[in-house]
Amino acid sequence: MAEIKHDFLTWPWQRWAAERPSDVAISLGEQTKESQTYTWAEVSTQVDEFAQGLVEQGVKRDQLVAVIADNTIDVVWLILAIIRIGARYVGLNPKLSFAEIQQQLAMLDNHYLWSDRDIATEQLTGQVITLRQPEVSRMVPVTWQEHRPVTLTLTSGSTGSPKAVVHSPESHLASASGLLSKMTFNAEDSWLLSLPLFHISGLAILWRWLYRGACLVIVEKALQQQALSWVTHASLVPTQLQRLLDQVPTQQPIALKQVLLGGAHIPVSLTDKARSAGIDCWCGYGMTEMASTISVKQADESQGVGNVLPNRELFLREGEILVRGKSLCLGYYRNHTIFSILDNHEHDGEWFATKDMGEWRDDELFIHGRADNMFISGGENVQPEDIEAVLLQLPGVEQAFVLPVDDYDFGQRPVAIVQTSCPFDAMFVDHVMTYMAETVAPYKRPVRYLALPEADIYRGIKVSRTKLAEWLAKQ
């Protein structure tokens, strides 16, 4: 395993406050005289004050603080203040129903709760706290401990109930350092906080910022597309990048230099256009348990996900991907205890079995899908992701999901649910059916095509296959 060690001997924001106190650390808009910014010295002071404010409200080491909110500067202050006093942060998706929030908090059994919205907190687990200045100003005594549990992240739960994944500063920083050994991100650069902090992808942005000591840009969601014209780095889905390139005149220079793409099929035409505008596009493979990215590459015509990053190891056992390394989580949190997720395997000790299926091809990793998504149709193993990959090659198809439905003769048959940028009508379906008949084996051809609904089918920022299957059962 290639290893890149960090050299932090104190909290990252305290280091940058000592080394570069007047550098801008956080910007709440484009860096002009009118926009609000915070230097590293101001960040360090604010975090200490908010941390003491939490202590005065009773928050102690190892206690769990749940946060229900969209991305704001207050949430960033909370996260840093929580881990500053040795407590633990867990974010919940504010778009969940009240019943779902109740269920997740009951599972977590959190000690404290903070929310920026009007909800019946008296019916939720945890004592309500506020983000406030301390009544007595003094330094919080908790020192830097890189192995200490600091964040819990609920998995997207695309195939079942979410798990609470526990990470330490070491695993977060190992994730950041490995990625940034390939993807250039300097102290003079800025990264847009474009992904939610209740998701590992959002937390990964936060820790890359802390690792490099660069500038974190926080703007409300309605202004994020506009912000892409003046930040240097962003984590996006392809449609966001496409909108930016469509809006910016060809000859107009833009600040954006590096984009980490995810969440959907990435058209080569899009990355070529971005490259012409001076933007390098990256894609890869990652998961919550490994603190985000595991492998990465500059996006190209290949459907592979690149090579394994430093601080990670990857091994294939009968096609299943096993991982470990410094970015691996401490375990799953349950009943106030952290349980290891490692299993002993004959290949050199303990590994985490991801349930993702893959292969090495020409020194590049290719992902085939999840083992628990596979179903049998007429005696043949069907991997839905294989069919989805073919559908995503069609012009106009933006997202594709294949699920099984029961069938008397075959046991199960595939059904395709797609999101399109063109009209989803009989002519489109006929075109897709003709294409699939020419492209895939008969047992892989969907027997029905449906448009992706606008119903509640999301878990976190991903479409939940479980919720999609529930919706399909009603059709």
The residue-averaged pLDDT of 135-139 equals 79
Domains of the chain (ranges plus CATH)?
12-361 (3.40.50.12780), 374-473 (3.30.300.30)
Residue 249 clears pLDDT 70, i.e. is over it: no
Residue 160 clears pLDDT 60, i.e. is over it: no
- At 170 the three-state DSSP class reads helix
CA distance 115 to 70: 9
**% of the chain beyond a pLDDT of 90:** 64
Residue 345's pLDDT is: 63
Q: Which of 284, 360, 264 is nearest to 321 (CA)?
A: 360
Residue 2's pLDDT is: 78
The residue-averaged pLDDT of 435-447 equals 90
**Residue 374 pLDDT class (50, 70, 90 cuts):** confident
SS (H, E, C) 220-284: CHHHHHHHCCCCCEEEECHHHHHHHHHHCCCCCCCCCCEEEECCCCCCHHHHHHHHHCCCEEEEE
Residue 34's pLDDT is: 72
Q: What is the pLDDT of residues 194-214, one digit of tens each?
A: 999 999 999 999 999 999 999
Q: Which of 402, 414, 386 is nearest to 319 (CA)?
A: 386
Residue 410's pLDDT is: 84
Q: Is the model more confident about 441 or about 179? A: 179
Residue 372's pLDDT is: 82
**Residue 159 pLDDT class (50, 70, 90 cuts):** very low
H runs (alpha helix) in 282-425: 384-391
Residue 264's pLDDT is: 63
* Tokens (6 digits) for 295: 């492998």
The tally of CA atoms less than 13 A away on the side-chain side of residue 34 is 2
**Angle CA 147–143–150, to nearest 5:** 40
Residue 117 clears pLDDT 80, i.e. is over it: yes
Q: Is the model more confident about 158 or about 384? A: 384
Q: What is the dihedral of CA 86, 67, 240, 439, to 10 degrees?
A: 90
**Residue 347 pLDDT class (50, 70, 90 cuts):** low
Residue 292 clears pLDDT 50, i.e. is over it: yes
**Residue 158 pLDDT class (50, 70, 90 cuts):** very low
The residue-averaged pLDDT of 266-276 equals 89
Q: How far is CA 374 from CA 339, 355, 400, 441, in A?
A: 27, 11, 16, 16
Residue 274's pLDDT is: 92
Residue 378's pLDDT is: 80
Residue 252 clears pLDDT 70, i.e. is over it: no
Q: Pairing mode, if any, of strands 64-68 and 380-382?
A: unpaired
- Amino acid (one-letter) located at 25: A
Q: What is the pLDDT of residues 54-76, one digit of tens each?
A: 999 999 999 999 999 999 999 99
In this structure, of 183-192, 255-264, 419-428, the range with the lowest mean pLDDT score is: 255-264
Residue 459 clears pLDDT 70, i.e. is over it: no
Alpha-carbon 419 to chain mean position: 21
Q: What is the pLDDT of residues 376-393, one digit of tens each?
A: 888 787 889 889 989 999
Residue 18's pLDDT is: 97
CA distance 425 to 139: 64
